Structure formats: structure tokens, C-alpha cells
Amino acid sequence: MKLFVYHTPERTPTDRLPDCAVVIDVLRATTTIATALDAGAEAVQTFSNIEELMRQSESWSTDKRLRAGERGGMTVKGFELGNSPLACKPSVVKSKRLFLTTTNGTRALERVEHSPQVITAAQINRRSAVNYLLETQPETVWIVGSGWEGDYSVEDTACAGAIAQSILQQSDASLIDLFGNDEVIGAIALYEQWKDNLLNVFRQCSHGQRLLKLNGDEDLFYCSQTDIVDVLPIQKQPGVLVKY
């Protein structure tokens, strides 16, 4: 297995694809996707474009669908849910399909949606992503962070490092065998630096600050927890994620 880390969709190559893509948007899209599926949602279908979401969700009956998403961290007007994982309670999402649009996470998914295998990861379900990679042993793995509008996000790269570090610890391979680009080494070092206090770094980083202004401290706390959910979202058709 060769691991590559790309900090943003914009930095992700467009002339080839990996055997498996792992998309990360810790704050908050991939945390929300994992939480919704864990709470019994039928699937999460993702869109970067609001108009396309409206068009495709229109044919679903209102008792089977939920429109969810944000722009600038705030709920899209007219949608039932924003992008807070805490809203994804079983009583709200069970057996429903979430039609989800977000500023960056859904764009990252689109960038790699034609890869043979696509999974999503966040800090809360890191172990499930690691177990899947160890079990399936894809030859090339791209861990793609969502960033913010083309810029690097520390929380996504820390999660990429958490995944890479755990694979390194659990396999016989050395770092030299495993790493495909230097970003992997940087991501592991970043995670090592902050692993005992992720909440602190989430409160300081730019998107954490943005969410704090929107009263998002409970979301930050939830998103900063490691391995609290044993669910792996896997793409069954482009843009549609289900429980593995």
C-alpha cells in the first residue's frame, strides 16, 4: 500500500485516480456523514451544487428525504438540516436519505468520485477507515482533505496523519514503504503534535473560529473525538454514500 495525502481538492491530481480515495472533512461534512449513517440514515447523497440537489431530491417523497447543508457554516435557506452532526439523531434521520451540500467537503468527494473505491473518514470514525484499508490493502490510497475554498485546513491534515500513523503502527511496513508523498510525513508529525488536544487546535484553526462565531463549540467538541463511531461510509455510486 502506498499512501498519498492531498491537503485540498485543488491539490489533488486530475490526470489519474487511486485504487482507494479517503475523503476527509472533519469540520464537518464527513463527521456528519458518519453520524447520519450510524444513526440509521438510508444513505447520504452529496452535491456541491444546490440547484442539482434540489432537482434530484424533488422526486423523493418528503417522508423519505431530508435536505441538509450549509454555506459559510449556516443552514441553506429552506433546508430541514444544516451541517451539524449533532442534528443527526436516529429520531430525525432513520431510514431517510440525506441530500447534503457543503462548501468544501462535497467538492472534495466530487474530485475523486470515479475512483474504484471511495470512503469517507473523520476523527470520530478513523478506526473504521483504517480497518478497511488494512483489510482491503489497496495499492494506492489518496487521503484527500477538503480544506476551505482552496486553502489548507489543519484539522483535515491532522486526521489524515491519524489514519497514516495508525496504518503504520498496525502493519509490517516502514514509513519509507508506506509514504507516497512528503505530505504523509508532515501529516503524521502534525497529528503527533496535537493528538492529545485536538479540541484546542480545532478551537484555534480558521474554520473552528468561524464555527465558534456561529455557536458551534459543541460541534467542535464532538468532531474532535477519536474513534467514537464504528461506521464506515462507502460510495455505492458517484456521490451516494452508504454504510459498509
> Site size for ligand MLT, by CB under 6 A?
13
Instruction: Name the one range near ligand MLT by CB under 6 A: 1-9, 43-51, 101-109, 176-184.
Output: 101-109
Does 103 contact ligand MLT by CB under 6 A? yes
CB-nearer residue toward ligand MLT: 112 or 178: 112
Does 155 contact ligand MLT by CB under 6 A? no
Does 28 contact ligand MLT by CB under 6 A? yes
Q: What is the DSSP string of 70-111?
A: EETTEEPTT-SB-S-GGG--HHHHTTPEEEEE-SSHHHHHHH
Tell me the closest approach of the beta carbon of residue 93 to ligand MLT, in angstroms.
16
CB-nearer residue toward ligand MLT: 178 or 241: 241
Compute CA distances 236 → 115, 143, 203, 227, 242, whole Å.
11, 18, 34, 23, 7
Tell me the closest approach of the beta carbon of residue 173 to ligand MLT, in angstroms.
32
One residue of 35, 48, 57, 104 binding ligand MLT per CB under 6 A: 104
Write out the three cell numbers for 19: 485504487
Whether cis (ω within 30° of 0) applies to the bond prior to 97 is no
Does 57 contact ligand MLT by CB under 6 A? no
Secondary-structure breakdown of the chain: helix, strand, coil percentages, each rounded to the nearest 5: 45, 20, 35
Tell me the closest approach of the beta carbon of residue 74 to ligand MLT, in angstroms.
8
CB-nearer residue toward ligand MLT: 148 or 179: 148
At what angle are helices 154-170 and 126-136 packed, to 10 degrees?
50
Give kind and range of the element (H or E) at residue 200.
helix 198-204
One residue of 9, 18, 85, 105 binding ligand MLT per CB under 6 A: 105
How many other CB atoms sit within 10 Å of the CB of residue 201? 17
Tell me the closest approach of the beta carbon of residue 2 to ligand MLT, in angstroms.
27
Instruction: Name the one range near ligand MLT by CB under 6 A: 23-31, 41-49, 171-179, 183-191.
Output: 23-31
CA gap 133, 142 in Å, rounded: 11
CA gap 19, 209 in Å, rounded: 35
Chain residues that interact with ligand MLT, rule: CB under 6 A? 25, 27-29, 70, 73, 83, 102-105, 146, 211
